């Protein structure tokens, strides 16, 4: 009878079970690796940036640079020509209305006043001897002889004109005849040019003698005028009195102007304010109208913003303005007072000519620490709403002539057409096509299309 020894069978069974366990482990590991490979090869969702369609405050602005400007600016100019004395005022000095701010040297004007007064006295002295002054017969005869000589000269010049016209007509006929012969090839071009030159010379000679007729006619008129004056002086000595009186009246009018100019050499401030600019500080000769000073009230500032003409159509008086980067803390407020009716051309930094328009605005209250000509950044608010359904503009793109966006729904991108209202640089008002809370894809690229699986970036 054969017996089995337990001590010999147990190690063999354990070895068999160990081999079987390792096979199962290897199988499971291989299945896991295969699963990982298959999972890695399956299509992965495209990572995208998502943003929600929200409802809240939105404002549309036109951003531009502006500068401050004194509202009431006075440019004080020299009223008359003269030597300007050195101006002692400097920028920032306060002046009161009526104070002398510039002075011209009155000496030259005073000298002209004295000279004019002397001329008036001389004419008044000459008027006392008018009754003893009468024209002599010899002067009358001389004037008549001059008229006769001038008429004879005109008659002679007219005869020369008649002769010159005949000669010119003959030269023109000869020129035309030569032109026909040249066209037929019968003469040379030099012969034609000689005929043309002769016609031109005859025309110039005619012009010269016609001018002689004009000169002779002017001599006749001058001689007749002289005779008329002499005859009047011979017949009525009071004529000279009228002449002197007219001259005296002219000098008196000139004297009044010079006296007024002499009084205007002291230039006063038209109103109280501050000296904004000293345009002519040194002593020198100035002409009438030369700008000397600029005065203004620095506490009364306005804002000047130049914008593109296409943007100006959206701006209206009363629109609010936010003023940023003005050099201080916080934001200043202003209101549009006027959009200037005329545009001007300005070259941009890229060398492009742009049509721009000035928008004039008033500050709300007195702006602190600002002066004339200070630069600021302004935002003109042309539209705003406290409860606007809005979508980021970075989620929008053109689809034909409409606007579209991609919405993430159930892990997939879906294209939607939307209707938009006013828009700012960052968001646009949604009028139709989206609801509050919709998740839109920002900056959609070529890999995004309807039905593509997407996931939001963390």
Enclosing domain of residue 350 = 298-384
Q: What CA–CA distance (Å, rounded) separates 348 from 307?
A: 12
231 lies in some domain: yes
362 lies in some domain: yes
Q: Are residues 139 and 230 both part of a single domain?
A: yes
199: Cβ–Cβ under 8 A, 6 or more apart, which residues? Answer: 168, 171, 172, 174, 175
pLDDT reported for residue 4: 47
pLDDT reported for residue 62: 93
Domain boundary among 219, 236, 253: 236
Side-chain-side CA neighbours of residue 240 (13 Å): 20
Q: What CA–CA distance (Å, rounded) separates 359 from 313?
A: 11
Say if residues 428 and 44 touch (Cβ distance below 8 Å). no
Q: Are residues 213 and 223 both part of a single domain?
A: yes
The domain that holds 375 is classified in CATH as: 2.40.30.170
pLDDT reported for residue 439: 93
3-state SS track over the chain: CCCCCHHHHHHHHHHHHHHHHHHHHHHHHHHHHHHHHHHHHCCCCEEEEEEECEEEEEEEEEEEEEEEEECCEEEEECCCCEEECCCCCCCCCEECCCCEEEEECCHHHHHHHHHHHHHHHHHHHHHCCHHHCCCCHHHHHHHHHHHHHHHHHHHHHHHHHHHHHHHHHHHHHHHHHHHHHHHHCCCCHHHHHHHHHHHHHHHHHHHHHHHHHHHHHHHHHHHHHHHHHHHHHHHCCHHHHHHHHHHHHHHHHHHHHHHHHHHCCEEECCCCEEEEEECCCCCEEECCCCEEEEEECCCCEEEEEEEEHHHHCCCCCCCEEEEECCCCCCCEEEEEEEECCCCEEEECCCCCEEEEEEEEEEECCCCCCCCCCCEEEEEEEEEEEEEEEEEEHHHCEEECCEEEEEEEECCEEEEEEEEEEEECCCEEEEEECCCCCCEEEECCCCCCCCCCEEEECC
The count of domains in the chain is 4
Q: Are residues 345 and 420 both part of a single domain?
A: no
Query: Whole-model pTM?
Result: 0.54
pLDDT reported for residue 417: 94
Q: Which residues of 350-363 are buried (b: 16+ CB within 10 A; e: fewer)?
A: eeeebebbbbbbbb
Q: Are residues 159 and 222 both part of a single domain?
A: yes
The domain that holds 421 is classified in CATH as: 2.40.420.20
The domain that holds 283 is classified in CATH as: 2.40.50.100
pLDDT reported for residue 3: 47
Positive or negative torsion for Cα 145, 150, 153, 158: negative
Terminal Cα-to-Cα distance of the chain (whole angstroms):
78
Q: Are residues 358 and 399 both part of a single domain?
A: no
Question: Which of 268, 267, 292 has the alpha carbon at shortest distance from 105?
Answer: 267
Q: What CA–CA distance (Å, rounded) separates 308 from 66?
A: 13
pLDDT reported for residue 1: 43
Q: What is the pLDDT along the chain (458 residues), one digit of tens a residue?
A: 444 454 445 666 666 666 666 667 667 777 766 666 655 555 678 888 999 999 999 999 999 999 988 888 888 888 777 778 888 888 878 888 888 888 777 556 666 767 777 777 777 777 776 655 655 566 667 777 877 877 887 788 788 888 888 888 888 888 888 888 888 888 888 887 888 888 888 888 888 888 887 887 787 788 777 777 767 665 556 667 777 778 877 877 776 766 666 666 778 888 888 888 888 888 888 888 888 888 888 778 899 999 999 999 999 999 999 998 887 788 899 999 999 999 999 998 889 999 999 999 999 877 777 888 889 999 999 999 999 999 999 999 999 889 999 999 988 999 999 999 999 989 999 999 999 999 999 999 888 888 888 888 86
Q: Are residues 285 and 303 both part of a single domain?
A: no
Q: Are residues 363 and 348 both part of a single domain?
A: yes
């Amino acid at each position: 009878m054969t017996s089995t020894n337990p001590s010999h069978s147990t190690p063999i069974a354990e070895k068999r079970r160990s081999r079987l366990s390792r096979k199962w482990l290897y199988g499971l590991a291989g299945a896991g690796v295969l699963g990982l490979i298959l999972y890695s090869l399956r299509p992965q969702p495209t990572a995208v940036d998502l943003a929600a369609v929200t409802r809240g405050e939105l404002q549309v602005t036109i951003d531009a640079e502006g500068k401050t400007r004194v509202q009431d600016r006075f440019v004080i100019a020299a009223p008359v020509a003269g030597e300007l004395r050195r101006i002692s005022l400097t920028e920032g000095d306060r002046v009161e209305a009526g104070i002398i701010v510039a002075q011209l040297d009155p000496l030259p004007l005073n000298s002209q006043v004295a000279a004019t007064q002397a001329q008036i006295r001389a004419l008044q002295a000459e008027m006392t001897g008018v009754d003893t002054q009468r024209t002599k017969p010899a002067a009358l005869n001389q004037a008549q002889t001059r008229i006769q000589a001038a008429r004879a000269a005109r008659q002679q010049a007219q005869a020369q004109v008649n002769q010159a016209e005949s000669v010119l007509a003959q030269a023109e006929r000869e020129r035309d005849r030569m032109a026909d012969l040249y066209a037929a090839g019968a003469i040379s071009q030099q012969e034609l040019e000689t005929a043309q030159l002769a016609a031109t010379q005859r025309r110039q000679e005619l012009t010269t003698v016609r001018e002689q007729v004009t000169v002779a006619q002017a001599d006749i008129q001058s001689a007749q005028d002289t005779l008329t004056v002499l005859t009047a002086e011979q017949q009525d000595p009071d004529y000279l009195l009228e002449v002197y009186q007219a001259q005296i009246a002219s000098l008196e009018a000139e004297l009044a102007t010079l006296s007024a100019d002499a009084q205007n050499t002291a230039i006063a401030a038209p109103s109280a304010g501050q000296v904004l600019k000293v345009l002519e500080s040194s002593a020198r000769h100035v002409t009438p109208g030369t700008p000397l000073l600029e005065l203004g009230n620095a506490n009364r500032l306005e804002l000047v913003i130049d914008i593109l003409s296409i943007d100006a159509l959206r701006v209206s008086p009363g629109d609010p303005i936010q003023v940023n980067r003005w050099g201080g803390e916080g934001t200043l407020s202003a209101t549009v007072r006027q959009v200037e009716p005329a545009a001007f051309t300005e070259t941009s930094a890229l060398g492009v000519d742009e049509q721009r328009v000035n928008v004039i605005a008033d500050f709300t209250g007195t702006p602190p620490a600002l002066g004339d000509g200070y630069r600021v950044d302004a935002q003109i608010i042309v539209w705003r709403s406290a409860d606007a359904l809005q979508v980021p503009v970075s989620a929008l793109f053109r689809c034909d002539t409409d606007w579209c966006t991609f919405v993430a729904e159930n892990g997939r991108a879906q294209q939607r057409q939307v209707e938009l209202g006013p828009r700012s640089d960052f968001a646009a008002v949604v009028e139709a096509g989206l609801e509050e809370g919709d998740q839109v894809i920002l900056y959609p690229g070529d890999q995004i299309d309807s039905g593509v699986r997407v996931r939001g970036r963390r």
